Structures are given as C-alpha cells and as structure tokens.
C-alpha cells in the first residue's frame, strides 16, 4: 500500500473510532470521511460497506491496544506500564461501546469480527503481569485470567465516556489489590 493510501486508511480508522464512540450505530459515514479529511469515494474504496469499516476499526483497536505493551514496558517500570495499559484498555472499551450493536449484528450475520481478540488481549495481560511478577511488584497468587475477568467486569459496568472517572477508580482499586505486600 502506498504511503498516502495507508495514511488515508489510518485517518479513516481513527475518525471512525471517534464518530462511532460519539454517535454509535447511527454514525454517518460521510461524517467519518469528513473528519478523516478524505472524500466519500476514498472511504468506500477502503471499506465498501459499513460492516467492513466497523470490523476494521475493531480489529485495529485491538491491535493497537496489544501492540502498546512493548513500548510501555520499555518506557516505564512494569507496574506503571500495567497501570498505563489498563487506561488504554478503557479507551478501547469506550470505542467498542459505540460499536457494540454493529459488532453484534455482524456476528449475527455469520461473520466473526472478534477473531482472536480475546487471546490477543490475554497475551498482552500475561506479558505485563509476567514483567510485574519478575520485578516483584505483584502478588503471585493472581493470574492473567483473574485480571482479565476484573477488566471485563469493569468494562461491563463502566463502559462509556460518562463513566470514565468511576472506571478509573475501579481500576486503581483492582491494581492496588494486585500489589505485593511486605
């Protein structure tokens, strides 16, 4: 893909996250194109249907969330990297919340927009927790599946931008419970 075409595609995906988070399933594709700085033809060339766009946005968000782990671990101590990643997880959930109905509709039509997302997210959590455990920052009796379940619970009860403050408090409470104690 040419650099300008890749840039256009990335701009469309970024704009779609914002617009879907704001307007949900009722988001107009023309608004997405405008916010991305591209014409409608460019949007439809990249994503012929609304479902194609929604699925691509979702997969892109999962990839960005999981790909962030390495950079966070390079730039921060392990526990702070885990804390920062949980905030990125909230961003991901908020973006997904605006697309939830559309994702369910895609799944009901026989496609699987989720693919390997659960496994990818679990691998990201495992990497972060392994780094924290190696640094002695977290308890050894809590595994990645436990933290994953806690994150899912927070997401279910606090999805949406209007609940961000509560979600962050719940994350802090959860992370505090992970810390190793002398």
Residue range(s) occupied by CATH 1.10.357.10 in the chain? 51-178
Q: What confidence tens digit (pLDDT) does each residue in 33-86 have?
A: 999 999 999 999 999 988 889 888 888 889 999 999 999 999 999 999 999 999
Q: Which fold has domain 1-48?
A: Arc Repressor Mutant, subunit A (1.10.10)
- pLDDT at residue 1, as a whole number: 65
Burial class (CB in 10 A: 0-12, 13-18, 19+), 113: buried
Q: What confidence tens digit (pLDDT) does each residue in 106-161 have?
A: 777 777 666 678 889 999 999 999 999 999 999 989 999 999 999 989 988 876 66
What is the 8-class DSSP label of residue 76? S
- pLDDT at residue 24, as a whole number: 72
The H-assigned helical ranges of 28-77 are 29-36, 40-46, 50-75
Task: Please report where in the chains the tokens 């990201």 appear, as a residue.
Answer: 124
**CATH for 51-178, options being 3.40.50.150, 3.40.50.720, 3.40.50.300, 1.10.357.10:** 1.10.357.10
pLDDT exceeds 90 at position 96: no
């Amino acid at each position: 893909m040419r650099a300008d075409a890749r840039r256009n595609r990335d701009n469309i995906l970024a704009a779609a996250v914002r617009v879907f988070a704001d307007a949900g399933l009722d988001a107009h594709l023309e608004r997405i194109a405008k916010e991305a700085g591209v014409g409608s033809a460019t949007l439809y060339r990249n994503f012929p249907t609304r479902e194609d766009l929604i699925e691509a946005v979702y997969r892109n968000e999962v990839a960005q969330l999981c790909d962030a782990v390495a950079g966070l671990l390079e730039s921060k101590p392990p526990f702070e990297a885990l804390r920062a990643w949980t905030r990125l997880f909230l961003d991901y959930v908020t973006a997904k919340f605006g697309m939830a109905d559309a994702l369910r509709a895609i799944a009901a039509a026989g496609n699987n927009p989720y693919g390997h997302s659960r496994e990818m997210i679990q691998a990201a959590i495992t990497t972060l927790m392994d780094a924290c455990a190696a640094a002695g920052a977290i308890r050894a009796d809590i595994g990645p599946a436990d933290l994953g379940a806690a994150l899912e619970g927070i997401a279910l009860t606090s999805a949406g931008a209007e609940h961000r403050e509560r979600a962050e408090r719940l994350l802090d409470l959860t992370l505090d419970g992970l810390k190793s104690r002398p």
